Amino acid sequence: LISGCGTFTFLSSAVAAVSGLLMGYELGLISGALLQMSSILALSCKEQEIVVSSLLFGALFASLTGGFLIDRFGRRLAIIIASSLLVLGSVILLPYESYGILIVGRIAIGISISLSSIATCVYIAEIAPQHRRGLLVSLNELMIVMGILFAYISNYAFASVSHGWKYMFGLVIPLGALQAIAMYFLPPSPRFLVMKNDDEAARKVLERLRETSDATKELTVIKSSLKDEHQYSFLDLFRSKNNMRTRMLVGLTLVFFVQTTGQPNILFYASTVLKSVGFQSNEAASLASTGVGAVKVVSTVPATFFVDRVGSKTFLCIGSSVMAVSLVTMGLVNHNIRVNFTNVCRSQSPEDFFLQRLENLTDVTNGSLKDLFASMALPERLSFDTQRSPDIARTGELNRTALSGGKNTTGSHTESEEVPVVLKWLSLASLLVYVAAFSIGLGPMSWLVLSEIFPGGIRGRAMALTSSMNWGINLLISLTFLTVTELIGLSWVCFIYTIMSLASLAFVIVFIPETKGCSLEQISMELAKQ
């Protein structure tokens, strides 16, 4: 498995890849925490989108500034700073229950995961031996999906615990702290040391990483390639010199497809989407999304271990084509279910909250007032109150079982609203296939390709730029997802994603180079010639 890459190299990569675990956890976490917090803080649709997106604002900001940090102070230091910031952001969140603090904490966490994701990819690519680079860089993606799975599991575990979201946010604190400490004892990237003209240290590090007594040969190759590359300025990324502009465009387009084929949303709003398709309670929705997380992990594993043999291009092609097929299925199924997306948001809307408060204040025995309000608010959200009332009671936020009147009224309507079982499961199945396809192709492979196609002297900044494109589009899509879905319906959203998947397939076939088994320096030279 790890043959041909020393234990120390593997260990260093694994510790660095803990960033991925933390990142995945923070990304997946919000889908379940939202279900709880939106009822506690009575968040509207827009506010929920903002909570999800505040993380992305932080991430976008960090990716715009982080590249210089990574090229200036080193990959390892950037990872240490990022973990510390994650701990800080999580600690801010715990004591308070306010919308403002929540956003501040999420922004800090966003900055942290964005910085660490760029730094980790670059760090691992630079310490890895060439024939094992795919494995080690994909290790980061594997950790990300494991993080997402853990997040979904903790969503499920704490779904019915009072203040469960605090435990969800708090779980990362020890891990982040541990990583920061462990990174301190790992070596800096040898290529970074060469950039800083510290050849002696670079050679020592290489000898430890490769477990040989003489790393002069590899050092010479790195030095000669960095000499050519060191004179790149940030603007060279957009000039035609050495084909940099084309490489940049390939990187940016790849990232564009990672986002526009719709995966991130399915991630953030998994519980929400599944709830609207007919998995009624918070627990059921969280459990179904745990399935999504598990599938991500299971399908990323073969991609990680076989990438050096099969090559990233092949995986990208397989992934995109399967995604297109499953998205069409999902679109057709949802077209027949007629998902009403307003439900999902309204189930946590302010008037809902008002209703419950009202119910607590006015203990109206004949329930006339209560029924009046219930009937006003009911049509949009038929089957949801039934589920949420016990939930709220359990959170202890509202001392009386809310909307007991609402329950009786809902009961009679729900039968007609029931989603056909076959369609419900078909919808889940196509969702899982879609997730699996993404996790084989665009998920891990795009980052691998990105960490390979740029020359070393400017790799940090180039990755940061593509990363900021990544977070930017992600932000745009996440901010508008619920709104757009409400406008055109889930099935049309799926059809749009299908078209994007097919486009990405065409793009990969034409533009992405096959890089398996080449050293970073060889790849750079090849691409400069094209």
Mean pLDDT of 415-419: 52
Same topology between domain 7-186 and domain 232-345+419-529: yes
Residue appearing with tokens 């990483």 = 209
What is the Cα–Cα distance from 193 to 188, expressed in whole angstroms? 7
Q: What is the pLDDT of residues 183-197, one digit of tens each?
A: 999 988 888 888 888
Angle of the 45-73 helix axis to the 459-488 helix axis, nearest 10: 170
- Token readout for 44 is 């509207």
Element (H, E) at 327: helix 312-337
Q: What is the pLDDT of residues 350-404, one digit of tens each?
A: 434 333 333 333 333 333 333 333 333 333 332 333 233 333 333 332 222 233 3
What lies within 8 Å, CB to CB, of 246 at 6+ separation is 240, 530
Amino acid identity at 104: V
Kindly give the residue spans of alpha helices, DSSP state H, lying in 158-198: 164-170, 172-184, 190-195
- Token readout for 385 is 């109150």
Mean pLDDT of 265-281: 69
Binned at pLDDT 50, 70 and 90, residue 22 comes out as very high
In this predicted structure, the answer to whether residue 437 has a pLDDT above a threshold of 60 is yes
Helix%, strand%, coil% for the chain, nearest 5: 80, 0, 20
Q: What is the pLDDT of residues 109-140, one digit of tens each?
A: 999 988 988 888 888 888 888 778 888 888 88
- Token readout for 473 is 């589009």
Residue-averaged pLDDT of the chain: 76
Q: By mean pLDDT, which of 195-204, 226-235, 250-259, 441-450 is the weakest?
A: 226-235
Binned at pLDDT 50, 70 and 90, residue 345 comes out as low
Buried b / exposed e across 179-191, counting CB within 10 Å, b at 16+? bbebbeebbbbbb
Report pLDDT for 138: 82
Mean pLDDT of 155-174: 84
Binned at pLDDT 50, 70 and 90, residue 349 comes out as very low
- Token readout for 466 is 């593509």
In this predicted structure, the answer to whether residue 479 has a pLDDT above a threshold of 70 is yes
DSSP labels for 92-153? HHTT---HHHHHHHHHHHHHHHHHHHHHHHHHHHHHS-GGGHHHHHHHHHHHHHHHHHHHHH
Mean pLDDT of 227-253: 77
Q: What is the pLDDT of residues 47-100, one digit of tens each?
A: 887 888 888 889 888 888 887 888 788 888 999 999 999 999 898 888 877 888
Residues 222/191, Cβ–Cβ less than 8 Å: yes
What 3-state class would DSSP assign to 235? Answer: helix
Domain ranges of the chain: 7-186, 232-345+419-529
DSSP labels for 265-302? HHHHTHHHHHHHHT--SHHHHHHHHHHHHHHHHHHHHH
Report pLDDT for 265: 74
Kindly give the residue spans of alpha helices, DSSP state H, lying in 418-489: 421-440, 442-453, 459-488
Q: What is the pLDDT of residues 150-159, one digit of tens each?
A: 988 888 888 7
Report pLDDT for 231: 67
CA dihedral 103, 106, 111, 117 (to 10 degrees): -150
Binned at pLDDT 50, 70 and 90, residue 339 comes out as low
What is the Cα–Cα distance from 530 to 519, expressed in whole angstroms? 17
Element (H, E) at 411: helix 404-417
Report pLDDT for 417: 55
Expressed in angstroms, the distance from the first to the final Cα of the chain is: 34
Tally Cβ neighbours within 10 Å of residue 254.
Answer: 25
pTM to 2 decimals?
A: 0.71
Binned at pLDDT 50, 70 and 90, residue 179 comes out as very high
Residue 514's region, left for phi above 0, alpha for psi from -120 to 50, else beta, is beta
Q: Is the dihedral of CA 333, 335, 339, 345 positive or negative?
A: positive
Report pLDDT for 506: 93
Binned at pLDDT 50, 70 and 90, residue 177 comes out as very high
Report pLDDT for 409: 32
Report pLDDT for 432: 87
In this predicted structure, the answer to whether residue 424 has a pLDDT above a threshold of 90 is no
Higher pLDDT, 342 or 460: 460
In this predicted structure, the answer to whether residue 171 has a pLDDT above a threshold of 70 is yes
**CATH superfamily placement of domain 232-345+419-529:** MFS general substrate transporter like domains (1.20.1250.20)
Instruction: Provide the CATH topology of domain 7-186.
Output: Growth Hormone; Chain: A; (1.20.1250)
Report pLDDT for 174: 92
